[in-house]
Amino acid sequence: MSGSKCARLTGALVKQLLDSVDCVLFDCDGVIWRGDQAVPGAAEVINLLKEKGKKVFFVTNNSTKTRKMYADKMTTLGFNAKEEEVFGTAYCEFLLPNYAVPPLKV
């Protein structure tokens, strides 16, 4: 989706949004960081969400790094991140058999 429809949330709208969710998902590459640089303000926002009791998870379609490698990179960039909060494609594929619905007989 294009960023042209984005609007800055302020005041009561921020509170209303935050009160309506318990969990927030963030994409990694190109969203909360670019290359080896955190997007300005991203770490502060994510860390504040966690301080306010929100569950935060990080998702990525990059399967070239382990969950620990991602968590280590995020920590280096100033994010309060744990390995168990990172979900990449390889890890999700590993989990899939545990959550897949078995075929039903008709």
Calculate Rg over the CA atoms of the chain: 16
H or E segment at 16?
A: helix 11-19
**How confident is residue 92, by pLDDT bands cut at 50, 70 and 90?**
confident
Question: pLDDT, tens digit, for every residue of 38-82?
Answer: 999 999 999 999 999 999 999 999 889 999 999 999 999 999 999
pLDDT category of residue 11 using cuts at 50, 70 and 90? confident
The domains of the chain, with CATH numbers, are 19-87 (3.40.50.1000)
The answer to whether 17 touches 23, Cβ cutoff 8 Å, is: no
- Which residues are catalytic, by number? 27, 29
- Are the CB atoms for 33 and 60 separated by under 8 Å? no
pTM for the predicted model, two decimal places = 0.80
SS3 86: strand
Residue type, 74: M
pLDDT surpassing 70 at residue 37:
yes
Residue 106: the pLDDT is 55
Q: Is the pLDDT of residue 1 over 60?
A: no
Q: Taking residues 25-43, what's their average pLDDT?
A: 94
